[in-house]
Chains A and B, each alone.
Chain A
Amino acid sequence: MLTTAFALVFFYAPVDADQGIIQKIFYVHVPLAIVALCGFVAGAVFGLMHLRTRDRRWDMRSYVTIHLSIVLAVGVLITGSIWARASWGQWFVWDEPMLVVFLIVFLLYATYQPLRFSIEDPEKQARYASVFAVTAGAFVPLCFGAVRMAQNLTHPQAGTMTTSGPASVSQTFLISLIGMALLFVTLCKYEMASKNATFKLRSLRRRLAGDDDDFAPAPRSAAPQL
């Protein structure tokens, strides 16, 4: 799906009149940003489910979505600054609320892993991380709502860019967005499966080791334990 999207980006969508080929990064940057933000909000929803049900699997889902969204957010910041360098002439523009807000959100979520790591008791770790996920998840829409309120015109809006251009632009954009979302979901599934496999393996080993003292405890990590 993503390959189709990228093929469309290069062969189907028209080259922007005044920005040239660099405008194509739009089809990576914007879907990345939208998917990352949705991932943060989804992490908050999963965190809330964990707090309500006390089921560790919700905490795992929350952890995995936030973890991958942070990775995507790094991608957003990198592609965004490449694009900004090419079209505005600067790596980072301070009077642009969208960029600043994204940076703040990124900095906030960057503390998620240290927070998990610095709590020892796994159950408490899961609960506190969920509380953080809910708080930060509510912070994301608030910030972006505030940005929409006081919008500056330098940062192109996804909406205006897709509706005002020819149809091929909006089609390509939509396909990249769906492709990126599918990529995100697939990555989440993979990480979840790998984590589950690790825990199964560990519990089997523990059973195998029985009462022997030579069983090595799991190394401390920020990831939730099942």
Chain B
Amino acid sequence: MKSAVAALLSKELALELRTRESVPAMVMFSITTYVLFHFGLDRDTIDGDLASGVLWVTLLFAAMLGINRLFVAEHEQGGFDGFLLAPVDRTAMFVAKAIALFAFLCAVELVAVPAFALLLLGPPLGQALPGLIVVLLAANAGVAVVGTLVAALAIQTRARELMVALLALPLLVPVVLGAARATAPLLHQGGAAALPVDWLGLLALYDLLFALIAYAIFDFLLED
């Protein structure tokens, strides 16, 4: 299982490094969205609740792009068949894809969060950074798990992009809610307040629950 996951993961990362398909598009999308928010809200700087809302909605929609692309190569080039022929546990595919999506999201945020601080955020990012990193990691885990499950579910349907958005957005509402509420006090104008533990707890519970469910039922999505 471990070696299968490692092999699949290295394949994912090599593919992304060579084609550069998802991550740059997601980064460009988030930066463009910040510009749109600047004009849409007609504000030069934002802070507090508004800032965390803008940040999380942007990151979520950027993540949707990555989720859409996640299984496309497998589906179009027959990678599923090759994987099913290999004598490995099918859950390895899920674990590898989820880790890859998690890595993509982290890579996107490495650029998108500083860009957000540069373009829109009023208070300095420095103080909020340690708390923000914790929230980002917890939320990325949730998005990666649910996103992988939804991507695998939607890849066989006819209207793939539509189904991904329709399925993933309601399922990810708790992630956005928890992450935005947890981030809001970090971005206040007067300086960062303490990280709210209860919202972080909600995120952790969500991650755990959906990781278990996805681990249990992912097998059924790959059979043919």
A143 to chain B, nearest CB (A): 7
Q: Output the nearest chain A residue to B157 by Cβ-Cβ distance.
A: A118
CA distance A204 to B198 in the complex (A): 59
A114 touches B174 (CB 8 A): no
Q: Are A127 and B166 in contact (CB under 8 A)?
A: no
Q: Given known contacts A128-B221, A130-B220, is B153 in contact with A138 (CB within 8 Å)?
A: no
Mask: chain A, 135-175; 1 = CB below 8 Å from B; 0 = not: 11011001100100110000000000000000000000000
Q: Does B82 contact A (CB under 8 A)?
A: no
Given known contacts A115-B167, A128-B153, A146 and B217 CB-to-CB distance under 8 angstroms? no
- Counting residue pairs across A and B whose Cβ atoms lie within 8 Å, the total is 71
Q: Is A104 touching B173 in the complex (CB atoms < 8 A)?
A: yes
A111 in contact with B159 (CB, 8 Å): no
CB pair A118–B220 under 8 Å, yes or no, is: no
A142 and B156 contact, CB distance less than 8 A: no
Q: Which of B27-35, B121-129, B202-210 contacts A (4 or more CB under 8 A)?
A: B202-210
Check A107 for interface membership: any CB of B closer than 8 A. Answer: yes
Q: Closest CB of chain B to A159's CB: distance in Å? A: 22
Could you say which residues of chain A place their CB within 8 Å of the CB of B213? Answer: 134-135, 138
Is there a chain B Cβ closer than 8 Å to A132's Cβ? yes
Chain A stretch 32-87: residues in CB contact (< 8 A) with chain B: 51
Q: Are A134 and B174 in contact (CB under 8 A)?
A: no
Nearest-neighbor residue (CB-CB) of B216 within chain A: A134
Q: Which residues of A contact B166 (CB under 8 A)?
A: 111, 114-115
User: Residue B223 at the A interface, CB < 8 A?
Assistant: yes
- Asked if A119 is an interface residue, CB under 8 A from chain B, the answer is yes
A149 to B205, CA, bound (A): 13
The answer on a CB contact under 8 Å between A108 and B170 is yes
> A128 CA to B155 CA in the complex, in Å?
11
| B217 lies within 8 A of A128 (CB) | no
The chain A residue with its CB closest to the CB of B223 is A127
- Residue from A104, A107, A115, A131 within 8 A of B217 (CB atoms): A131
Q: A111-B166, A118-B163, A146-B202 are in contact. Are A131 and B174 (CB under 8 A)?
A: no
* A51 pairs with B217, CB closer than 8 A: yes
A124 at the interface (CB under 8 A from B): yes
Which of A124, A130, A149 is in CB contact (< 8 Å) with B198? A149
Task: Give B152 Cβ to nearest chain A Cβ, in Å.
Answer: 9
Residues on A with beta carbons closer than 8 Å to the beta carbon of B167:
108, 111, 115, 132
Chain A residue at minimum C-beta to C-beta distance from B202 = A146
Check B151 for interface membership: any CB of A closer than 8 A. no
Give every chain A residue within 8 A of B202 (Cβ-Cβ). Answer: 146, 149
Given A114-B159, A115-B163, A143-B174, 18 other A-B residues pairs in contact with their CB atoms under 8 A: A51-B217, A105-B170, A108-B167, A115-B153, A115-B166, A115-B167, A127-B221, A130-B220, A131-B220, A135-B210, A135-B214, A135-B217, A138-B209, A142-B174, A142-B205, A142-B206, A149-B198, A149-B202
Contact surface of B with A, Cβ cutoff 8 Å: 149, 153, 156-159, 162-163, 166-167, 170-171, 173-174, 198, 202, 205-206, 209-210, 213-214, 217, 220-221, 223
Residues of A within 8 A of B (CB): 51, 104-105, 107-108, 111, 114-115, 118-120, 124, 127-128, 130-132, 134-136, 138-139, 142-143, 146, 149-150
Q: What are the nearest 8 A-B pairs in CB distance?
A: A108-B170, A118-B157, A111-B166, A118-B158, A107-B170, A104-B173, A131-B217, A118-B159
